Amino acid sequence: MKRKLTAVSILFGGLGLGWVVFLALVGRTQAGAGGTTFLPLILSPLNYDILLDGAAFMPHVLAVQTGTAVTWKNGESSPQTITAGLGAFTSPELPPNGLFDWPATAAGIYTYTTAADGSIEGALVVSENGMADWFNGRTPAQAYADSCAGCHGADRSGGIGPALLPGALTENDPFYFDTIKNGRPGTIMPPWGNLGLRDEEIWLLLGFLRSEPEDTSVTWDMDDIQASHTVLIDESTLPITPTHSGNLDNLMLVTEREAERIAVFDGNTHTLLGRIPASYRAHGYAFDPTNDRWVYNIGRDGWLFKMDLYTLQPVRKVRVGLDSRGLAISDDGNYLIAGNYAPYTAVILDAHTLQPLKVIATEGYDPDGRWVKSRVAITSDVAPSLVGSYFIIALKEAGQVWRIDYSQPGFPITKLENVGRILHDGFLSPDNSRFYLASQEDDRMAVIDVANWTLVTQIETGDTPHPGSGAVWSANGQEYGATVHAGEGLVTIWNLADNQIAAQIPTSGPGLFIRAHEQNPYVWADTMFAASPHQIYVIDKETLTVTHVITDGLMTLHPELTDDGQFVYISDWQGEVVRVYNAHTFALVAELSGLTTPTGIFNTSRRYEMLGH
């Protein structure tokens, strides 16, 4: 693994001595159940220096171990006094080049300013083990990549969220601390304080945002991928029948986001069958359409697992990237494609062995004519029996969509340019003739002819469409598609025949996921970024009107129906429970507790879906 190291203005106590700055990507690695965790280097705490110069403290935020001696140096040309909140300390007036020493003996958060006008801010985070106490051993740069880069850009230059570069952050520290902690109701900015970030971690993340961006170019090439390939269990030793009583066509896989595991429930009985160890923030799932035994899962840290649904355990793993999202499997069960945020690549693998077959650089001209390296926004597959043996990937920043023929040697690519700005989720029509893709900055759903690989039209939607894995249904002799929106409370429904808007239904706030099932008369949409983020809207497929709103819980999301459409599972991220409802009467049937941060739910019947596996 090769990384270019650059300095940023946040420093972690225990990483070195004297006048130093933290190298954000430096760290030793520790192998965990899900793969590699990056830990900051820890040396003996002695002393650390903070420089006041150019109307800024450098580093802006410092994390140290208790017992560290901290020294401020006044690099300004005028005298300065440094004052901490709550009377923690006040320096004497420091002449130019004057020093002030303070022993960090007690754990806590210490914010401070210059006394002259209070506009120069800084913070100390003091704890027993310094930086090792925060982000589960990860760095603020990695926390940003995991939770913020999707909206604000990998390089912090902005996307569907604003740029988070030092020059753009014109408010004071408490303003940004409050925004990160409490979110902005009615927008896609969530309250990270409610979602697990501690105050100390928010300050460290803010210090990262106040720093100049590092070079985000990293590599993880074919050699790295092959070297990471691991056989966990010899598949020839596995039992030939399931070791549990669950219905393999109706298992509910629940992502336990912060626990690095997947809880597996029987959708017939709503009982927990077991848990499968996974990786950091298990994200994309792909069910083998040819064999009910296998499911594949990719974590945000790039670890891809082949998992056995008979014994509920991983059997192989390989690291395809350093920050990954999308995953799809070919209709014949032979190939996988994984999409990365870092590095800018897509990876094709043998689905049976997880051996990598091809690494594809994802770069090209964006709609404004700039050559850019691009994250992969989505991966999908097309049914050969309907259109062709294709994978589809969308390049988020480049605004391009690529069709990859996995039936041909070398996996040839056909490129469609100028599709839109900040591409995201998408799904196929039931006959796979059309691909519908969110162009979030343009507030549109692009419609692509899959066979001819042309852009058919753009559907004007609401603010920032976010269809997730999609909702498509038939009613009144018509076929409809729908999306929720990450920028406003709205469900947009269109007719697949002419791509005209059929209905726009206001909701209580922005959402991320919408689902439908052919054996259920309703469409289910969440509103997880609303001011009250616990409302699931139930929309009648025929009348295109709201029939019911489920209001249980704290932050509810990702409704998923059982194989027969009789029950719907809904995650409560903050409540750490999954609730099961009768999907016809809306009565609460069961509460599945004992879960850690449940988010995405996926039924094994998805292996038969024609919207893309």
Q: Where are the beta strands (DSSP E) in 366-513?
A: 371-373, 376-381, 390-395, 400-405, 413-416, 423-428, 434-439, 444-449, 454-460, 465-475, 478-485, 490-495, 501-506
Structural fold of domain 466-613: Methylamine Dehydrogenase; Chain H (2.130.10)
Mean pLDDT of the chain: 89
pLDDT higher than 50, residue 272? yes
Count of CB atoms situated within 10 Å of the CB of 529: 28
Name the least confident of 15-29, 109-123, 379-393, 418-432.
15-29
End-to-end Cα separation, the chain, in angstroms: 31
The verdict on whether omega for the bond into residue 59 sits within 30 degrees of 0, i.e. cis, is yes
pTM given for the model:
0.81
The predicted structure's pLDDT at residue 217:
66
pLDDT higher than 50, residue 126? yes
* CATH fit for domain 221-246+278-460, picks 2.140.10.20, 3.40.50.620, 2.40.480.10, 3.40.50.720: 2.140.10.20
Domain with CATH 2.130.10.10 in the chain: 466-613
Between strands 261-266 and 251-256, the pairing is: antiparallel
- The percentage of the chain sitting over the pLDDT mark of 90, rounded to a whole number, equals 75
- Report DSSP state, residue 605: G
Which tokens is 305 given?
Answer: 């697992």
Between helix 140-147 and helix 199-209 the angle, nearest 10°, is 90
Classify burial at 84, counting beta carbons within 10 Å of its beta carbon; exposed 0-12, middle 13-18, buried 19 or more. middle
The predicted structure's pLDDT at residue 118:
72
Name the least confident of 182-186, 399-403, 487-491, 584-588.
182-186
The predicted structure's pLDDT at residue 117:
67
Where residue 215 falls among pLDDT bands split at 50, 70, 90?
low
**Gap between the Cα atoms of 484 and 487, Å rounded:** 9
513 and 468 Cβ atoms separated by less than 8 Å: yes
**Gap between the Cα atoms of 320 and 557, Å rounded:** 28
pLDDT higher than 70, residue 345? yes
Can you give the length of the chain in residues?
Answer: 613
Over residues 571-575, the mean pLDDT reads 96
Residues 6+ apart with CB under 8 A from 55: 76, 119, 120
Over residues 146-159, the mean pLDDT reads 84
Which tokens is 52 given?
Answer: 């006041």
451 and 387 Cβ atoms separated by less than 8 Å: yes
428 and 434 Cβ atoms separated by less than 8 Å: yes
338 and 304 Cβ atoms separated by less than 8 Å: yes
The tens digit of pLDDT for each residue in 355-371 reads: 999 999 999 999 999 99
Structural fold of domain 2-209: Immunoglobulin-like (2.60.40)
The tens digit of pLDDT for each residue in 6-26 reads: 223 333 333 332 332 332 322
Domain with CATH 2.140.10.20 in the chain: 221-246+278-460
Domain with CATH 2.60.40.420 in the chain: 2-209
Amino acid code (one letter) for 172: N
The predicted structure's pLDDT at residue 512:
94
The predicted structure's pLDDT at residue 6:
26
Q: Map residue 94 onto helix, strand or coil.
A: strand
The predicted structure's pLDDT at residue 9:
34
pLDDT higher than 50, residue 42? no
272 and 253 Cβ atoms separated by less than 8 Å: no
